[in-house]
Amino acid sequence: MQVFQYPVSAEWPALQQRAAAGEARQVEERVRQIFDDVRQRGDEALRQYAAELDGATLTELRVTPEELAAAEAQVPAELQTAIRQAHANLWKFHATQRTEEPRVETMPGVTCWRKSVPVQRVGLYIPGGSAPLFSTLLMLGVPARLAACPEVVLTTPPQKDGSVNPVILFTAQLLGIQTIVKAGGAQAVAALAGGTESVPAVDKIFGPGNRYVTAAKQLATQHGVAIDMPAGPSEVLVIADRTANPAFVAADLLSQAEHGPDSQVLLLTDSVELLPLVTAEVERQLAELPRRDVAARALAESRAILLRTPEEMLFFSNQYAPEHLILSVQDPEALAGGVTSAGSVFLGHLTPEAAGDYASGTNHTLPTGGYARNYSGVSLDSFLKKITFQRITPEGLLHVGPVVETMAEAEGLHAHARAVTLRLESISVNR
């Protein structure tokens, strides 16, 4: 990790820079090419990308019922139990997000209300590759099911033998997802956005991924498809004081660094003594990781920063707007009150970010790249649309009509005013 001691505020923007920002233009151009290709060639393009990028030769893009049924036997019983418990925790937390909104009479005879309606067709993108994220499928599948979305399409990269990781298939079965497509990367997002022979077009796309997937999701919005949020490479920021355990902090940093070479981890501390202990512990634990090469590449773009006060650390964090924020301090509740920009916050020395990644109950599909300044993480609301309704009685029109007429005339929108005036005249005649 790069170490910085007491940088002045003018140096902070450079320290808050994400590594991927400089390559955005090249990534966007490549993603546009992929979108055009998938639009023109459909399934044929998806099979070609599977061969080139995943090393898989596919005859069928859809997972068959036989493949789905065979998955459970390939998943160890202990892991099945863990997944079922995580599913229960996620269900319990997200179910509390159901709300019934009251009807409101804004004036006598004028009633307004709002109704939640599920997004009809949703696409879930689940990264595969070196770390198949079956946990992400839980995070997306649980609220999709709670929202009662009628059609759920899962896309995930194939393994080299053309199969899908059995744990992903087991999790899909647990969630009742039947439409599963062997496609990954920007090409999967392109297929979900426009549809192919094997992939139904959807209304909204969910799921994290690398910079290509993030760019593809943003491009999908130009094709009339909504997305959950811009969710790219993983990141964590740890605020640690002198009471923090260096081994715990190092493990938290490495848990994000091992996601991918473009992940980023930051440590902020006001303890001169803690800083070298954490950096040494990072090196020690890194040497023991099976994914140490991946983590090491991420650490090359990561930073440990010594600041002067808790207030300074919190201000830096809010500017950075991390996906994950860990408050490894003596009084985390006090510091948490000042958090304004973060995807998900983990309080105290015994609350690892990994708990939120898997099984505490909160959602781990979170905004990255600074988007936590203006986006929330995935929740039940992400899978719902809010439609407003209103009903006006004759009495209500007598109250609200003149207000509308006056405002419409002032804006020069005379047809708006007439739509009210004609009705008021009708009421007067029929009285």
Token pair recorded at residue 298: 């991420």
Q: How far apart are CA 269 and CA 313, in angstroms?
A: 7
* Binding annotation: 125, 187, 210, 234, 256, 259, 324, 357, 411, 416
260 pLDDT band, cuts 50/70/90, is confident
46 pLDDT band, cuts 50/70/90, is very high
Domain boundary assignment for the chain: 2-18+233-361, 23-107+119-229, 393-430
CATH of 23-107+119-229, one of 1.10.8.60, 3.40.50.1970, 3.20.20.105, 3.40.50.1980: 3.40.50.1980
All residues at 6 or more sequence positions from 328 whose CB lies less than 8 Å from its CB, including other chains: 238, 239, 240, 241, 244, 245, 248, 249, 252, 348, 349
With a pLDDT cut of 90, the percent of the chain lying above it is 89
pLDDT confidence of residue 210: 80
pLDDT at 168 over 80: yes
pLDDT confidence of residue 185: 93
Question: Mean pLDDT over residues 291-296, rounded?
Answer: 93
Question: Mean pLDDT over residues 163-184, rounded?
Answer: 95
pLDDT at 21 over 60: no
Q: How far apart are CA 365 and CA 139, in angstroms?
A: 7
Q: How far is CA 247 from CA 275, 281, 283, in A?
A: 12, 6, 11
pLDDT tens profile 387-402: 999 999 999 999 999 9
Mean predicted lDDT score pLDDT of the chain: 94
188: nearest Cα among 64, 41, 35, 67: 35
Measured CA angle at 46 (ends 45, 47), to 5 deg: 90
* Binding annotation for Zn(2+): 256, 259, 357, 416
Q: Do domains 2-18+233-361 and 23-107+119-229 have the same CATH topology?
A: yes
With a pLDDT cut of 70, the percent of the chain lying above it is 98
Question: Mean pLDDT over residues 264-282, rounded?
Answer: 96
C-alpha 324 chain-centroid distance: 12
State residue 285 phi and psi, 5-degree precision: -70, -30
188: nearest Cα among 176, 206, 174: 206
All residues at 6 or more sequence positions from 92 whose CB lies less than 8 Å from its CB, including other chains: 361
pLDDT confidence of residue 259: 86
* Binding annotation for substrate: 234, 256, 259, 324, 357, 411, 416
Q: Which residues are catalytic?
A: 323-324
Token pair recorded at residue 36: 């055009």
pLDDT at 162 over 80: yes
429 pLDDT band, cuts 50/70/90, is confident
**Residue tagged 């800083």 (tokens):** 275
Question: Taking the model in full, what pTM does it have?
Answer: 0.91
50: nearest Cα among 172, 148, 187: 187
Token pair recorded at residue 173: 């079965």
**Contact criterion met (CB below 8 Å) for 235 and 323:** yes
CATH for 2-18+233-361?
A: 3.40.50.1980
pLDDT confidence of residue 22: 53
Residue 414 is inside which H or E element, if any?
Answer: helix 414-430
Q: Which residues pair with 328 in a beta bridge?
A: 240
**Contact criterion met (CB below 8 Å) for 63 and 178:** no
